[in-house]
Amino acid sequence: MRLAFIVINHNASVSYDLSILNTVKKSLQKLGYKTLCLVNTEATKLAVLSRLKSISKTIKKSDRFIFYFSGHTIWSPWKKGLNFFDFKPYHIFYDGKSNWMSNDELMDIVKSILCKKILLFDTCCGPLIGINKQKNTQIVTVSNKFGRTISLLEKKEPIPIIAYYLKKIASSPKNKLKDLWNPQNHIVNGIRMTITGKKMII
């Protein structure tokens, strides 16, 4: 089985989130993945945690899993992780109340998903997510420490960089992530893509 879990939340336009979802979902389905999605108001910390824990209990070692997150992160010397729809910035210094997921918390759950997996992060401070190496895990992030992810324009629609590449890969007959790790493609519109872990076929 091939399973993809898509989480999209920019706390901005619902139509923007849905346009990203449409691109990513269609691309992954074309690659043979069953998709589970949480978008905008659905993308709360509890909902994401619950879905990931459920996946870890049902997925088999021979399966393939992709986690795609498009949204905001926390980036500071003290706290690094993912923001969700119910994030409360004024509670950031109080553990358990701000509804964000730390890097360690996320990677501990990912570790319990034993199959080959690819984590895709289309965020403002993406490289800070891939903090530890795990067996059978590929991590792809967008590096932009100075603001939100810059989108590419395709058919007059703003599409985040990794979503753009997923679309490109889905249209390739070879169905590989090779376009992501060609050196000339590591920088798009001044934004660097960072890839860690063993290179895997998507």
Q: What is the DSSP string of 150-202?
A: PPEEETTEEE-HHHHHHHHHHTSTT--SHHHHSGGGSEETTEEEEEES-----
Domain residues for 58? 2-196
pTM: 0.87
Q: Please write the tens of the pLDDT for every residue from 23-76.
A: 999 999 999 999 999 998 898 888 999 999 999 999 999 999 999 998 887 766
Does residue 57 belong to any structural domain of this protein? yes
Does residue 17 belong to any structural domain of this protein? yes
Q: Please write the tens of the pLDDT for every residue from 66-119.
A: 999 988 877 666 677 888 877 666 555 555 567 778 888 888 898 899 999 998
CATH code for the domain in which residue 185 is found: 3.40.50.1460
Sign of the C-alpha dihedral computed for residues 51, 64, 175 and 141 taken in this order: positive
Lowest pLDDT segment from 76-90, 134-148, 182-196: 182-196
What's the domain count of the chain?
1
Does residue 201 belong to any structural domain of this protein? no
